[in-house]
Structure 1
Amino acid sequence: MSWVSLLGSRLDACTRRDCASSGTDRAWSGTWSPWPAQSWLRATLFGWRRRERRAMTSSPSDLQVVTAALGAAGLIEMIHGPGDVEISGVTQDSRTVEPGNLFLAWSGSDWDAHGFVAQAAAMGAAAAVVERYVPEAEIPQIQVSNGRLAAALAADALLGSPWAELFTVGVTGTNGKTTTALLAQHLLGARGASAAVGTLGLVGPDGSAREGTVGLTTPGPVAISTWLADLVQEGVESVTIEASSHALDQSRLDGVRFDAVVFTNMSQDHLEYHADMAAYFRAKSHLLNLTKDGGCVVVNADDARWKDLPIEGRRTLTYGIEESADLRAESIEPGPSGTRFRMDGAAGEIDVDLPLIGRFNVENSLAAAGIGTVAGLSLEVVADRLGSVPQIPGRLEVVQRDPFAVVIDFAHTPDALRRVVATMRPLVAGRLIVVFGAGGDRDRIKRPDMARAVAQVADVVVITSDNPRTEDPETIIDDIVSGMDGSPFERLVDRREAIRHALAEARPGDLVLLAGKGHERYQIVGTERLPFDERLIIEAHLGRMGELA
């Protein structure tokens, strides 16, 4: 066994105090620490085994393992101080540094972690990986040209490349990442314990999200490697990871290699971050560089933008509804509670009864089916598993059916809104009432197009706030309104009031769609996350209506 692999057991080599104080909140903040559920006895045994092996062989120190990984990637500019240092853990958060930790620092767009290197040293950090030398921090420092990439590679090296022990899937695209990832997790459960990482956090084999793991679509590099190592120790065999364009651009996943990567669709989003659609495309395309040797690229053949992906010579599997593809959906029959279709692939044809509505969910299920095929599942097993997929939180989630329907969905791009309202329209006997807004400090260009997508189909439009963040909510709504093009609408800045208004407006047979927040149980106002659960607002309002009746 190589020392890089052997060092993966360090995850469990903790003291009783370390295990007792470890928790998911620290794991989320970017600290390498085991889940509370891991036993102290097992951790002690793993630690003993590691120490025994070290006693029997001549081995490099932890910092030398990191140095070797960063050197192989051509990232090292200079090494300051001794290199034979033992490392007890790794973190990118100065608030969670413990004695013996390796501290990872780089310069971000809004902050510079080099200002915390000295603090980390004072708290007991044994060494640091930096982009520039910090002389006041009297600890060994590995100076690198790219701190983000170095962080991903360092965490992976210290944790023994846990991805190598898993069937790994990366999913990217503008829309459909979460649904595709969770559908894939469900399918892969047929071959052993399966997990997913993404917008909902770390979702374990039982289908529930681990407490304290919800945050970014794709977490930081330390959290990624930590979670994968934890999953390996738990006996998980496969994991599906949502890969956001931000994460790909920032090298958060560069410490992972994938057996399969999926490209769902691509439309305008995140242009507040990416310079233009070309830059957005390049960020998404980076996922190709993270495939294992012989890994498969699963591509939506119906999205013309993916035709420019440099996949020549790679193993590929295409899926689609309109275009010729390796895996196709035909004879689609939409219903009020699900969708029936025939799936046609190289292995034959089979009927699928998908308990999800919407043509886009047929696309998502095809993507997941492609992953299942790559993993060796038969078409029969894939169809059977698709027939039992659970409701995905905040994705066309029906929270009430009578006397009128209320649906919550995460749609927050023009394309996603267009797809959702088009799906809802034929299912509504009465009026389609849509409540939506746009996120603050995000792509402003898409806001008028969001309005057009809704106005063309909805009977009643209520424009409100989403997560305004540090932007003026009135300004955000002004941007949206500019795309209404004379169509009637109502404007209520307070999202609670907007939801209550829509519910009060609804009549039997109507459908109220709350778009934008989906699974989120908070609203970001300024820099604060305030409790905000649309389900509770609906429940409280309808309860009052019942009392009045």
Structure 2
Amino acid sequence: MTLPMIAQDIVLVLKKAGLLLNHRAPRPDQTFNGHTTNARQVQTASLFIAYKGVSFDAHSALKDLQQNQSGLGFIVEQKEAFEALPQDVFACLVTDSREAWAWLAAHSHGNPQDRLRLIGITGTNGKTSTVWFLRQLLRTIQEPCLILGTLGVYCGEEKFPATHTTPDPDELFQQLALAVKKGVSWAAMEVSSHAIVQKRLGPLRFDAAGFTSFSRDHLDFHPTMDDYFAAKWQLFSQLLKPGAVGWLSHGIEEWLPPDAFTRGLHFYGPARSGRTMQKGDSHYEVAAMTLQSTDFSVTLDSKTWQGHLPFGADFAIANFTLALLIVESLLPGRVSADAWSHIEPVPGRFEPVTEAFAHGLAVIVDYAHTPDALEKTLHKLRELTQGRLWVVFGCGGDRDRGKRPLMGAVAEKEADVLVVTSDNPRTEDPETILKDILQGLTQSKHQAIVDRESAILRAIQGAQRGDSILIAGKGHEDYQIIGKEKFPFDDRKVAAACLKRRQAK
């Protein structure tokens, strides 16, 4: 439940944030019962926050709102809009309305971030896994945690749906307030580049942060890879508390700005000959791995953990290591390797469809939806496969078209048999998306089947004992977006049903 906002408090919040350029408050004690960025949801005595979005500039709605509602207040970021508002209404001119929204959302929910220890995870791939492992590691030491990200929102043992990797400010601070209400003192969240650029985080400052990986993605949103990295790097350059802990994957070193190495940040990665570890850095080393288990160790300075996890895949081990290092940095000496065997695999991340083992097959569902993630996942599955390696994948519609042929090329290089299909086509023609993917292929060892269920069935019926099938792109998602509608579709359930049909055949 949001708290009412008083005009003079709004001014103070915006001043504290460094966003306020000008304001007028005919009644400093004027109270607003809520705030909104949606002109269709404005009610009497509410605060309207206008910003210029990707496809709509809410400043254009100001005139109609003044005529149809009373008792309104306004936050705007255009000087001409501010000057055009009546002198007898509360109004603030700010440098960035989106950021103002985040600060005001935090205020209206009682600034829950001040009563939480916050962990932020960014990276192209690996955010979801790391946050998932953070929750479970903290649970093993009786430290309940709120997590926010692609898998949804978990508060302690309760789960809530999520709309974005990093929610909009109202949802974000509502969930943080829920954690405080339930007595949870930790919050770990995925920090997307979109959220940073769109200023959704407001006053959040993190006690610890991790950077998992960096590769091509979201170039439909960011102009260049440099812009994409710069957005993510703001988590470390602008959003950490003084003395905060920062862990960086060795794989991002080439992208780092020169001052990154003077910030007291630490690196982690696989043990490799020829790499010199600096004090405070960490490495992990796998002793044995199958599709269902991993024995490995993590070394931090003079301390080494050795344990067993009930799942496989290199990427999961890297992300588990990051989560372990963050918890150890914040709560030293509390983590025990004895608890690793109780850690659950991440839903939809290199997740085996267990029914396949009875057929002598391995069917793996994974969220890999970038060229880098697909390559790494296929490469690891190749190591664990005796027979042929199949891949069923597509690319999302209304997203970065440039990565489609790159993913086709990766799949052709790493797999024996390709079945190219739909992912979430959204408003694009699925056939067009498939054609974009096929431009990256040089051979004819592929099949193109638009219907995703038919594509999965084709691979499962065509595979022989000893073969592995990777179903990539959607992972944990239990829907498919066609046009603007969501239809039920879970790769894991569809694969299990197809395995039954294979048996019946």
Tell me if both proteins adopt one fold, taking TM over 0.5 as the criterion. yes
- Contact 1:395–1:410 (8 Å) recurs in 2: yes
| Corresponding residue number in structure 1 for 2:351 | 397
| Corresponding residue number in structure 1 for 2:337 | 383
- The whole-number CA distance in structure 1 between the counterparts of 2:339 and 2:34 is 39
| Corresponding residue number in structure 2 for 1:63 | 7
Cα deviation, residue 480, structure 1: 1.1
Structure 1 residue 337 corresponds to structure 2 residue 282: no
The residue type equivalent to 1:499 in the other structure is I
Q: TM-score, normalised by structure 2?
A: 0.90
Structure 1 residue 274 corresponds to structure 2 residue 274: no
- The whole-number CA distance in structure 1 between the counterparts of 2:227 and 2:256 is 16
Decide which of 231, 235, 249 is 2:197's aligned counterpart: 249
The residue type equivalent to 1:338 in the other structure is S
Residues 296-335 of structure 1 mapped to structure 2, 5 A cutoff: 296-308=245-257, 310-321=259-270, 322=272, 323=275, 324=277, 326-335=281-290
Structure 1 residue 471 corresponds to structure 2 residue 428: yes
- The whole-number CA distance in structure 1 between the counterparts of 2:50 and 2:75 is 6
- The whole-number CA distance in structure 1 between the counterparts of 2:151 and 2:14 is 31
Residues 176-215 of structure 1 mapped to structure 2, 5 A cutoff: 176-189=126-139, 190-206=141-157, 208-210=158-160, 213-215=161-163
| Corresponding residue number in structure 2 for 1:538 | 495
Structure 1 residue 524 corresponds to structure 2 residue 481: yes
Between 312-321 and 513-522, report the one with greater CA deviation: 312-321
Cα deviation, residue 94, structure 1: 4.2
| Corresponding residue number in structure 2 for 1:168 | 118
- Contact 2:7–2:90 (8 Å) recurs in 1: no
| Corresponding residue number in structure 1 for 2:387 | 430
SS of 1:462 mapped into structure 2: strand
The residue type equivalent to 2:358 in the other structure is D
- Contact 1:357–1:423 (8 Å) recurs in 2: no
- The whole-number CA distance in structure 1 between the counterparts of 2:71 and 2:133 is 41
- Contact 2:290–2:311 (8 Å) recurs in 1: no
Structure 1 residue 354 corresponds to structure 2 residue 354: no
Cα deviation, residue 218, structure 1: 0.8
Decide which of 488, 495, 500 is 2:452's aligned counterpart: 495
| Corresponding residue number in structure 1 for 2:76 | 130
- The whole-number CA distance in structure 1 between the counterparts of 2:253 and 2:216 is 14
- The whole-number CA distance in structure 2 between the counterparts of 1:382 and 1:247 is 34
- The whole-number CA distance in structure 1 between the counterparts of 2:490 and 2:104 is 38
- The whole-number CA distance in structure 2 between the counterparts of 1:114 and 1:244 is 26
- The whole-number CA distance in structure 2 between the counterparts of 1:511 and 1:333 is 19
Q: TM-score, normalised by structure 1?
A: 0.83
Residues 191 and 126 (structure 1), Cα distance of their counterparts in 2 relative to 1, 3 Å cut: farther
Deviations 1:447-506 (A, max 9, x none): 222112211221210011111222222222122112122251001112122112112212
Residues 360 and 541 (structure 1), Cα distance of their counterparts in 2 relative to 1, 3 Å cut: closer
SS of 1:392 mapped into structure 2: coil
| Corresponding residue number in structure 1 for 2:170 | 222
Cα deviation, residue 299, structure 1: 0.9
Structure 1 residue 442 corresponds to structure 2 residue 392: no
The residue type equivalent to 2:399 in the other structure is R
Deviations 1:172-199 (A, max 9, x none): 0000000011111212222521111001
- The whole-number CA distance in structure 2 between the counterparts of 1:191 and 1:216 is 28
The root-mean-square deviation of aligned C-alpha atoms, in Å, is 2.4
Cα deviation, residue 100, structure 1: 4.1
Structure 1 unaligned regions, length at least 5: 1-9, 15-60
- The whole-number CA distance in structure 2 between the counterparts of 1:483 and 1:310 is 38
Between 340-349 and 94-103, report the one with greater CA deviation: 94-103
Cα deviation, residue 99, structure 1: 4.9
| Corresponding residue number in structure 2 for 1:39 | none
Cα deviation, residue 126, structure 1: 4.2
- Contact 1:406–1:513 (8 Å) recurs in 2: yes
SS of 1:78 mapped into structure 2: strand
Cα deviation, residue 120, structure 1: 6.4
Residues 360 and 131 (structure 1), Cα distance of their counterparts in 2 relative to 1, 3 Å cut: same
Structure 2 unaligned regions, length at least 5: none
Cα deviation, residue 114, structure 1: 3.0
SS of 2:453 mapped into structure 1: helix
- The whole-number CA distance in structure 2 between the counterparts of 1:184 and 1:290 is 19
- The whole-number CA distance in structure 1 between the counterparts of 2:71 and 2:287 is 58
Structure 1 residue 110 corresponds to structure 2 residue 55: yes
Residues 124 and 500 (structure 1), Cα distance of their counterparts in 2 relative to 1, 3 Å cut: farther
Cα deviation, residue 238, structure 1: 0.4
SS of 2:481 mapped into structure 1: strand
Residues 409 and 139 (structure 1), Cα distance of their counterparts in 2 relative to 1, 3 Å cut: farther
- Contact 1:193–1:238 (8 Å) recurs in 2: yes
- The whole-number CA distance in structure 2 between the counterparts of 1:480 and 1:540 is 27
| Corresponding residue number in structure 2 for 1:159 | 109
SS of 1:450 mapped into structure 2: helix
Between 119-128 and 535-544, report the one with greater CA deviation: 119-128
The residue type equivalent to 2:256 in the other structure is K
Aligned-residue sequence identity (percent) comes to 37
- The whole-number CA distance in structure 1 between the counterparts of 2:43 and 2:264 is 44
Decide which of 290, 294, 315 is 2:239's aligned counterpart: 290
The residue type equivalent to 1:184 in the other structure is L
SS of 1:381 mapped into structure 2: coil
- The whole-number CA distance in structure 1 between the counterparts of 2:336 and 2:330 is 11
- The whole-number CA distance in structure 1 between the counterparts of 2:209 and 2:49 is 28
Between 323-332 and 276-285, report the one with greater CA deviation: 323-332
Structure 1 residue 485 corresponds to structure 2 residue 485: no
Cα deviation, residue 411, structure 1: 0.1
The residue type equivalent to 1:402 in the other structure is A
Cα deviation, residue 110, structure 1: 1.3
- The whole-number CA distance in structure 2 between the counterparts of 1:425 and 1:484 is 19
- The whole-number CA distance in structure 2 between the counterparts of 1:231 and 1:449 is 41
